[in-house]
Protein backbone atom coordinates (compact mmCIF):
# COMPACT_ATOMS: atom_id res chain seq x y z
CA UNK A 1 0.00 0.00 0.00
CA UNK A 2 2.78 2.32 0.99
CA UNK A 3 4.66 1.47 -2.10
CA UNK A 4 1.65 2.19 -4.19
CA UNK A 5 1.31 5.67 -2.74
CA UNK A 6 4.97 6.32 -3.21
CA UNK A 7 4.73 5.29 -6.79
CA UNK A 8 1.83 7.60 -7.42
CA UNK A 9 3.60 10.41 -5.72
CA UNK A 10 6.74 9.93 -7.72
CA UNK A 11 4.78 9.95 -10.86
CA UNK A 12 3.01 13.21 -10.45
CA UNK A 13 5.72 15.59 -9.44
CA UNK A 14 5.52 18.65 -11.58
CA UNK A 15 8.65 18.04 -13.48
CA UNK A 16 7.93 14.38 -13.86
CA UNK A 17 4.64 15.31 -15.42
CA UNK A 18 6.32 17.31 -18.11
CA UNK A 19 8.59 14.40 -18.65
CA UNK A 20 5.70 12.03 -18.92
CA UNK A 21 4.11 14.35 -21.35
CA UNK A 22 7.19 14.11 -23.45
CA UNK A 23 8.00 10.48 -23.12
CA UNK A 24 4.75 8.71 -22.87
CA UNK A 25 2.48 11.14 -24.46
CA UNK A 26 -0.46 11.96 -22.36
CA UNK A 27 -2.60 13.90 -24.61
CA UNK A 28 -2.76 15.53 -27.90
CA UNK A 29 -4.90 17.08 -30.50
CA UNK A 30 -6.37 14.59 -32.86
CA UNK A 31 -3.16 13.65 -34.53
CA UNK A 32 -4.94 11.60 -37.11
CA UNK A 33 -7.53 13.75 -38.71
CA UNK A 34 -8.77 11.19 -41.16
CA UNK A 35 -10.60 7.95 -40.62
CA UNK A 36 -8.70 5.71 -38.27
CA UNK A 37 -9.12 2.49 -40.11
CA UNK A 38 -8.00 2.89 -43.60
CA UNK A 39 -4.74 1.50 -44.78
CA UNK A 40 -3.10 -1.87 -44.54
CA UNK A 41 -0.06 -2.27 -42.39
CA UNK A 42 2.31 -5.16 -42.03
CA UNK A 43 3.41 -7.14 -45.00
CA UNK A 44 0.17 -7.81 -46.70
CA UNK A 45 -3.52 -8.12 -46.29
CA UNK A 46 -4.81 -10.73 -43.89
CA UNK A 47 -8.37 -11.78 -44.18
CA UNK A 48 -8.43 -12.50 -40.48
CA UNK A 49 -7.35 -9.04 -39.55
CA UNK A 50 -10.27 -6.90 -38.47
CA UNK A 51 -8.38 -3.77 -39.30
CA UNK A 52 -7.78 -4.68 -42.89
CA UNK A 53 -11.02 -6.47 -43.34
CA UNK A 54 -13.65 -4.02 -44.51
CA UNK A 55 -16.43 -5.92 -42.76
CA UNK A 56 -14.65 -5.11 -39.50
CA UNK A 57 -16.09 -8.04 -37.65
CA UNK A 58 -14.71 -7.64 -34.17
CA UNK A 59 -14.67 -11.39 -33.69
CA UNK A 60 -12.16 -11.95 -36.41
CA UNK A 61 -8.94 -11.26 -34.54
CA UNK A 62 -5.93 -13.45 -35.01
CA UNK A 63 -8.26 -16.39 -35.10
CA UNK A 64 -8.22 -16.47 -31.35
CA UNK A 65 -11.69 -17.53 -30.45
CA UNK A 66 -12.09 -14.90 -27.77
CA UNK A 67 -13.21 -12.30 -30.21
CA UNK A 68 -10.36 -9.95 -29.39
CA UNK A 69 -7.84 -8.14 -31.51
CA UNK A 70 -4.69 -9.88 -30.42
CA UNK A 71 -2.05 -11.34 -32.69
CA UNK A 72 0.25 -10.19 -35.42
CA UNK A 73 -0.76 -8.38 -38.59
CA UNK A 74 -0.11 -9.83 -42.03
CA UNK A 75 1.76 -13.01 -42.97
CA UNK A 76 5.33 -14.04 -43.62
CA UNK A 77 6.77 -14.90 -47.01
CA UNK A 78 5.92 -18.61 -47.09
CA UNK A 79 8.05 -19.24 -50.15
CA UNK A 80 11.14 -18.79 -47.95
CA UNK A 81 10.04 -21.06 -45.13
CA UNK A 82 6.61 -22.61 -44.66
CA UNK A 83 6.02 -24.05 -41.18
CA UNK A 84 3.03 -25.94 -42.56
CA UNK A 85 5.42 -27.94 -44.74
CA UNK A 86 8.20 -28.16 -42.19
CA UNK A 87 5.64 -29.82 -39.89
CA UNK A 88 5.60 -32.99 -42.00
CA UNK A 89 9.14 -32.85 -43.36
CA UNK A 90 11.09 -35.87 -42.12
CA UNK A 91 14.48 -36.25 -43.75
CA UNK A 92 15.51 -39.94 -43.93
CA UNK A 93 18.79 -39.06 -45.69
CA UNK A 94 20.33 -41.16 -48.42
CA UNK A 95 19.97 -44.83 -47.50
CA UNK A 96 22.38 -47.65 -48.35
CA UNK A 97 22.51 -51.16 -47.00
CA UNK A 98 25.89 -52.82 -46.56
CA UNK A 99 26.59 -56.47 -47.37
CA UNK A 100 26.24 -57.31 -43.72
CA UNK A 101 22.72 -55.86 -43.80
CA UNK A 102 23.55 -52.68 -41.92
CA UNK A 103 21.42 -49.72 -42.96
CA UNK A 104 23.53 -46.58 -43.42
CA UNK A 105 21.99 -43.12 -43.67
CA UNK A 106 23.92 -40.06 -44.76
CA UNK A 107 23.17 -36.36 -44.75
CA UNK A 108 24.99 -33.23 -45.82
CA UNK A 109 24.63 -30.47 -43.26
CA UNK A 110 25.99 -27.02 -43.77
CA UNK A 111 26.02 -24.09 -41.36
CA UNK A 112 24.84 -20.91 -43.07
CA UNK A 113 23.99 -17.38 -42.00
CA UNK A 114 20.53 -16.40 -43.11
CA UNK A 115 18.05 -13.63 -42.45
CA UNK A 116 14.77 -15.34 -41.57
CA UNK A 117 11.27 -13.94 -41.09
CA UNK A 118 10.03 -14.89 -37.64
CA UNK A 119 6.84 -12.84 -37.57
CA UNK A 120 5.19 -10.99 -40.44
CA UNK A 121 7.65 -8.28 -41.45
CA UNK A 122 10.08 -9.00 -38.60
CA UNK A 123 13.46 -10.35 -39.67
CA UNK A 124 16.12 -12.05 -37.60
CA UNK A 125 19.79 -12.54 -38.51
CA UNK A 126 19.91 -16.29 -37.90
CA UNK A 127 22.58 -18.97 -37.86
CA UNK A 128 21.13 -22.05 -39.51
CA UNK A 129 21.68 -25.66 -40.44
CA UNK A 130 20.94 -25.93 -44.16
CA UNK A 131 19.49 -22.42 -44.28
CA UNK A 132 16.46 -23.05 -42.08
CA UNK A 133 15.37 -22.68 -38.47
CA UNK A 134 14.70 -25.17 -37.00
CA UNK A 135 17.25 -27.33 -38.78
CA UNK A 136 16.03 -30.35 -40.77
CA UNK A 137 14.21 -33.10 -38.85
CA UNK A 138 16.46 -36.14 -39.36
CA UNK A 139 14.68 -39.48 -39.18
CA UNK A 140 16.01 -43.02 -38.86
CA UNK A 141 15.41 -46.34 -37.20
CA UNK A 142 17.14 -47.64 -34.10
CA UNK A 143 20.34 -49.41 -35.04
CA UNK A 144 20.90 -47.51 -38.31
CA UNK A 145 24.41 -46.22 -38.86
CA UNK A 146 24.23 -42.44 -39.26
CA UNK A 147 26.72 -40.17 -41.02
CA UNK A 148 26.34 -36.40 -40.94
CA UNK A 149 28.79 -34.68 -43.28
CA UNK A 150 28.97 -31.29 -41.66
CA UNK A 151 30.67 -28.33 -43.28
CA UNK A 152 30.82 -24.84 -41.87
CA UNK A 153 29.85 -22.25 -44.47
CA UNK A 154 29.42 -19.43 -41.98
CA UNK A 155 31.81 -16.93 -40.43
CA UNK A 156 31.78 -18.43 -36.92
CA UNK A 157 32.97 -21.80 -35.60
CA UNK A 158 30.19 -24.35 -35.11
CA UNK A 159 29.55 -28.03 -34.33
CA UNK A 160 26.61 -30.43 -34.18
CA UNK A 161 26.02 -31.97 -30.79
CA UNK A 162 23.52 -34.84 -30.86
CA UNK A 163 21.72 -36.16 -27.80
CA UNK A 164 21.75 -39.96 -27.40
CA UNK A 165 24.30 -42.75 -27.12
CA UNK A 166 27.53 -42.24 -29.07
CA UNK A 167 31.30 -42.13 -28.52
CA UNK A 168 32.51 -38.85 -26.99
CA UNK A 169 34.55 -38.23 -30.13
CA UNK A 170 31.25 -37.88 -32.00
CA UNK A 171 29.61 -35.67 -29.37
CA UNK A 172 30.01 -32.39 -31.18
CA UNK A 173 31.85 -30.64 -28.36
CA UNK A 174 35.27 -31.26 -29.85
CA UNK A 175 36.58 -30.71 -32.41
CA UNK A 176 35.20 -27.27 -33.14
CA UNK A 177 34.64 -26.87 -36.85
CA UNK A 178 36.08 -23.58 -38.05
CA UNK A 179 34.61 -21.65 -40.98
CA UNK A 180 35.41 -23.48 -44.20
CA UNK A 181 36.20 -26.75 -42.39
CA UNK A 182 34.26 -30.02 -42.44
CA UNK A 183 33.70 -32.98 -40.14
CA UNK A 184 31.68 -36.19 -40.34
CA UNK A 185 29.72 -37.29 -37.31
CA UNK A 186 29.17 -41.03 -37.38
CA UNK A 187 27.34 -43.17 -34.83
CA UNK A 188 24.63 -45.80 -34.46
CA UNK A 189 21.16 -44.54 -33.78
CA UNK A 190 20.05 -45.35 -30.24
CA UNK A 191 17.93 -45.22 -28.19
CA UNK A 192 14.70 -44.77 -30.10
CA UNK A 193 12.88 -41.63 -29.19
CA UNK A 194 12.95 -37.94 -30.06
CA UNK A 195 16.26 -36.13 -29.54
CA UNK A 196 17.51 -32.63 -30.06
CA UNK A 197 20.68 -31.70 -31.85
CA UNK A 198 22.32 -28.29 -31.65
CA UNK A 199 25.58 -26.42 -31.92
CA UNK A 200 27.77 -26.70 -28.85
CA UNK A 201 30.25 -23.88 -29.34
CA UNK A 202 30.53 -21.25 -26.60
CA UNK A 203 28.77 -19.02 -25.99
CA UNK A 204 26.13 -21.69 -26.00
CA UNK A 205 23.22 -19.32 -25.46
CA UNK A 206 24.15 -17.33 -28.54
CA UNK A 207 24.81 -20.30 -30.78
CA UNK A 208 21.59 -22.05 -29.86
CA UNK A 209 19.21 -19.13 -29.82
CA UNK A 210 20.54 -17.83 -33.14
CA UNK A 211 18.96 -20.94 -34.68
CA UNK A 212 21.43 -23.83 -34.68
CA UNK A 213 19.14 -26.62 -33.48
CA UNK A 214 16.85 -29.31 -34.79
CA UNK A 215 15.46 -32.76 -34.09
CA UNK A 216 16.65 -36.30 -34.63
CA UNK A 217 13.81 -38.81 -34.48
CA UNK A 218 14.83 -42.44 -33.97
CA UNK A 219 11.99 -44.87 -34.66
CA UNK A 220 11.69 -48.02 -32.55
CA UNK A 221 12.62 -51.22 -34.46
CA UNK A 222 9.03 -52.38 -34.48
CA UNK A 223 7.71 -48.92 -35.54
CA UNK A 224 4.93 -46.95 -33.91
CA UNK A 225 1.28 -47.25 -34.85
CA UNK A 226 0.44 -45.51 -38.13
CA UNK A 227 -0.57 -41.90 -37.46
CA UNK A 228 -0.53 -38.40 -38.86
CA UNK A 229 2.91 -37.36 -37.63
CA UNK A 230 4.31 -33.91 -37.15
CA UNK A 231 7.29 -32.16 -35.58
CA UNK A 232 6.94 -29.13 -33.35
CA UNK A 233 10.07 -27.36 -32.15
CA UNK A 234 9.24 -24.82 -29.48
CA UNK A 235 11.55 -21.89 -30.07
CA UNK A 236 11.86 -18.18 -29.47
CA UNK A 237 13.87 -15.21 -30.69
CA UNK A 238 15.55 -12.33 -28.91
CA UNK A 239 15.43 -9.59 -31.52
CA UNK A 240 16.73 -6.82 -29.26
CA UNK A 241 19.77 -8.70 -27.92
CA UNK A 242 18.82 -8.24 -24.29
CA UNK A 243 18.57 -11.95 -23.43
CA UNK A 244 14.79 -11.82 -23.46
CA UNK A 245 12.66 -13.15 -26.26
CA UNK A 246 10.38 -10.97 -28.33
CA UNK A 247 8.90 -13.73 -30.48
CA UNK A 248 7.75 -17.21 -29.39
CA UNK A 249 6.52 -19.98 -31.67
CA UNK A 250 6.54 -23.59 -32.57
CA UNK A 251 8.58 -23.96 -35.74
CA UNK A 252 9.79 -20.36 -35.75
CA UNK A 253 6.96 -18.26 -37.16
CA UNK A 254 4.75 -16.50 -34.60
CA UNK A 255 1.08 -17.49 -34.82
CA UNK A 256 1.66 -19.42 -38.04
CA UNK A 257 -0.69 -22.27 -37.12
CA UNK A 258 -3.25 -19.74 -35.96
CA UNK A 259 -3.27 -18.22 -39.42
CA UNK A 260 -2.98 -21.63 -41.06
CA UNK A 261 -4.64 -24.24 -38.79
CA UNK A 262 -3.26 -27.77 -39.02
CA UNK A 263 -5.80 -29.94 -40.85
CA UNK A 264 -6.66 -33.23 -39.14
CA UNK A 265 -9.37 -35.83 -39.76
CA UNK A 266 -11.87 -36.43 -36.98
CA UNK A 267 -10.88 -39.60 -35.09
CA UNK A 268 -7.53 -39.89 -36.86
CA UNK A 269 -4.54 -40.72 -34.63
CA UNK A 270 -2.25 -37.71 -34.44
CA UNK A 271 1.36 -38.00 -33.23
CA UNK A 272 3.29 -34.86 -32.40
CA UNK A 273 7.00 -34.92 -31.67
CA UNK A 274 7.52 -31.93 -29.39
CA UNK A 275 10.87 -30.56 -28.37
CA UNK A 276 11.75 -27.46 -26.37
CA UNK A 277 14.64 -25.44 -27.78
CA UNK A 278 13.60 -22.12 -26.23
CA UNK A 279 16.55 -20.14 -24.98
CA UNK A 280 16.54 -17.64 -22.06
CA UNK A 281 13.27 -18.93 -20.57
CA UNK A 282 13.70 -21.85 -18.20
CA UNK A 283 10.59 -23.70 -19.24
CA UNK A 284 8.08 -23.91 -22.01
CA UNK A 285 5.00 -26.07 -22.35
CA UNK A 286 2.48 -27.60 -24.72
CA UNK A 287 -1.20 -27.43 -23.93
CA UNK A 288 -4.04 -28.89 -26.03
CA UNK A 289 -7.62 -27.67 -25.80
CA UNK A 290 -10.74 -29.84 -25.78
CA UNK A 291 -8.86 -33.14 -25.81
CA UNK A 292 -6.18 -35.06 -23.91
CA UNK A 293 -3.01 -36.63 -25.21
CA UNK A 294 -0.98 -39.70 -24.31
CA UNK A 295 2.38 -38.39 -23.22
CA UNK A 296 5.53 -40.46 -23.87
CA UNK A 297 8.40 -38.55 -22.28
CA UNK A 298 11.48 -38.47 -24.53
CA UNK A 299 9.68 -41.08 -26.66
CA UNK A 300 12.00 -43.77 -25.32
CA UNK A 301 9.30 -46.07 -24.01
CA UNK A 302 6.29 -47.36 -25.86
CA UNK A 303 4.31 -48.50 -22.83
CA UNK A 304 4.39 -45.96 -20.02
CA UNK A 305 2.40 -42.88 -20.68
CA UNK A 306 0.38 -40.28 -18.94
CA UNK A 307 -2.96 -38.96 -20.12
CA UNK A 308 -2.88 -35.20 -19.83
CA UNK A 309 -3.49 -31.99 -21.74
CA UNK A 310 -0.45 -30.03 -20.57
CA UNK A 311 3.21 -30.92 -20.45
CA UNK A 312 5.89 -28.65 -19.02
CA UNK A 313 9.35 -28.96 -20.53
CA UNK A 314 12.71 -27.56 -19.54
CA UNK A 315 15.28 -26.64 -22.18
CA UNK A 316 16.15 -29.69 -24.27
CA UNK A 317 13.26 -31.77 -22.93
CA UNK A 318 11.03 -33.50 -25.47
CA UNK A 319 8.13 -35.89 -25.75
CA UNK A 320 5.87 -37.79 -28.10
CA UNK A 321 2.20 -36.88 -27.87
CA UNK A 322 -0.61 -39.01 -29.30
CA UNK A 323 -4.24 -38.00 -29.47
CA UNK A 324 -7.38 -37.99 -31.54
CA UNK A 325 -9.77 -35.12 -32.07
CA UNK A 326 -13.26 -36.55 -31.88
CA UNK A 327 -15.46 -33.69 -33.06
CA UNK A 328 -15.09 -31.39 -36.02
CA UNK A 329 -13.87 -27.89 -35.27
CA UNK A 330 -10.86 -25.88 -34.21
CA UNK A 331 -8.77 -27.10 -31.30
CA UNK A 332 -6.42 -24.51 -29.91
CA UNK A 333 -2.93 -25.45 -28.72
CA UNK A 334 -0.40 -23.17 -27.09
CA UNK A 335 2.15 -22.76 -24.33
CA UNK A 336 0.51 -22.65 -20.95
CA UNK A 337 2.71 -19.68 -20.19
CA UNK A 338 0.24 -16.97 -21.18
CA UNK A 339 3.02 -14.58 -22.08
CA UNK A 340 4.50 -17.01 -24.63
CA UNK A 341 1.04 -17.64 -26.04
CA UNK A 342 0.44 -13.97 -26.66
CA UNK A 343 3.89 -13.44 -28.09
CA UNK A 344 3.30 -15.97 -30.85
CA UNK A 345 3.26 -19.55 -29.50
CA UNK A 346 -0.35 -20.42 -30.30
CA UNK A 347 -2.10 -22.30 -33.06
CA UNK A 348 -5.03 -24.49 -34.01
CA UNK A 349 -5.74 -28.00 -35.15
CA UNK A 350 -8.77 -28.04 -37.37
CA UNK A 351 -10.58 -31.38 -37.28
CA UNK A 352 -12.72 -32.10 -40.31
CA UNK A 353 -15.08 -35.01 -40.71
Supply angle C-alpha 247, 135, 332, rounded to 5. 45
Binding segment for other proteins among 39-47, 145-153, 173-181, 291-299 (CB under 8 A)? 39-47
Q: Using CB atoms within 10 A of its CB, is residue 292 exposed (0-12), middle (13-18) or buried (19+)?
A: middle
Q: How far is CA 101 from CA 140, 186, 241, 343, in A?
A: 15, 17, 50, 49
Q: In terms of CB distance, is 196 or 347 closer to other proteins?
A: 347
The whole-angstrom separation of Cα 128 and Cα 345 is 21
Q: Indicate the length of the chain as a whole number.
A: 353
Determine, following the binding rule CB under 8 A, whether residue 264 of this chain makes contact with other proteins: no
Supply angle C-alpha 130, 244, 286, rounded to 5. 70
Determine, following the binding rule CB under 8 A, whether residue 54 of this chain makes contact with other proteins: no
Determine, following the binding rule CB under 8 A, whether residue 167 of this chain makes contact with other proteins: no
Determine, following the binding rule CB under 8 A, whether residue 202 of this chain makes contact with other proteins: no
Determine, following the binding rule CB under 8 A, whether residue 62 of this chain makes contact with other proteins: yes
Is the bond into 203 cis (omega within 30 degrees of 0)? yes
Q: Is 260 helix (H, G, I), strand (E, B) or coil?
A: coil
Determine, following the binding rule CB under 8 A, whether residue 349 of this chain makes contact with other proteins: no
Determine, following the binding rule CB under 8 A, whether residue 68 of this chain makes contact with other proteins: yes
Binding segment for other proteins among 48-56, 219-227, 267-275, 324-332 (CB under 8 A)? 48-56
Q: Is 237 helix (H, G, I), strand (E, B) or coil?
A: strand
Ordered strands of the 293-297 beta sheet? 247-250, 228-237, 270-276, 318-323, 293-297, 306-308
Determine, following the binding rule CB under 8 A, whether residue 4 of this chain makes contact with other proteins: no
Q: In terms of CB distance, is 61 or 299 closer to other proteins?
A: 61
Q: Is 115 helix (H, G, I), strand (E, B) or coil?
A: strand
User: Which of 1, 3, 27, 226 is close enough to bind other proteins by CB under 8 A?
Assistant: 27
Binding segment for other proteins among 36-44, 89-97, 129-137, 327-335 (CB under 8 A)? 36-44
Q: In terms of CB distance, is 115 or 174 closer to other proteins?
A: 115
Determine, following the binding rule CB under 8 A, whether residue 51 of this chain makes contact with other proteins: yes
Determine, following the binding rule CB under 8 A, whether residue 15 of this chain makes contact with other proteins: yes
Q: Which of 183, 192, 242 is nearest to 220 (CA)?
A: 192
CB 280 within 8 A of CB 205: yes
CB 74 within 8 A of CB 119: no
Determine, following the binding rule CB under 8 A, whether residue 71 of this chain makes contact with other proteins: yes
Q: How far is the CB of 246 from other proteins (least distance, A)?
A: 6
User: Which of 2, 4, 39, 223 is close enough to bind other proteins by CB under 8 A?
Assistant: 39
Positive or negative torsion for Cα 167, 170, 171, 176: positive
Give the N- to C-terminal CA distance of the chain in Å, as an integer. 56
Scan residues 82-111 and list those touching other proteins (CB under 8 A). none
Determine, following the binding rule CB under 8 A, whether residue 122 of this chain makes contact with other proteins: yes
Q: Is 95 helix (H, G, I), strand (E, B) or coil?
A: strand
Binding segment for other proteins among 35-43, 78-86, 161-169, 213-221 (CB under 8 A)? 35-43
Residues of this chain that bind other proteins (CB under 8 A):
8-15, 17-32, 34, 36-39, 41-43, 49-52, 61-62, 68-73, 118-125, 237, 239-240, 246-247, 254-255, 339, 342-344
Amino acid sequence: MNEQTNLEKTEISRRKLLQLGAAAGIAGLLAAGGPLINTVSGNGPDHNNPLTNPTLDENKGMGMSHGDNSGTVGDVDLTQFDPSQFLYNFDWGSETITESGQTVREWDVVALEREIEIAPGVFFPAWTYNGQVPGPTFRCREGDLLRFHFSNGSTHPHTIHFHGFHPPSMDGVEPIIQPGESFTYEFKARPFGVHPYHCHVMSLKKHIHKGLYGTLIIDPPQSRKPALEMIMVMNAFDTTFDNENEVYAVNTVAFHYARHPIQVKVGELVRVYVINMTEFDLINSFHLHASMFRLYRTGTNLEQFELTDTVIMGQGERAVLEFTLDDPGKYMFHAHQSEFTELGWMGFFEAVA
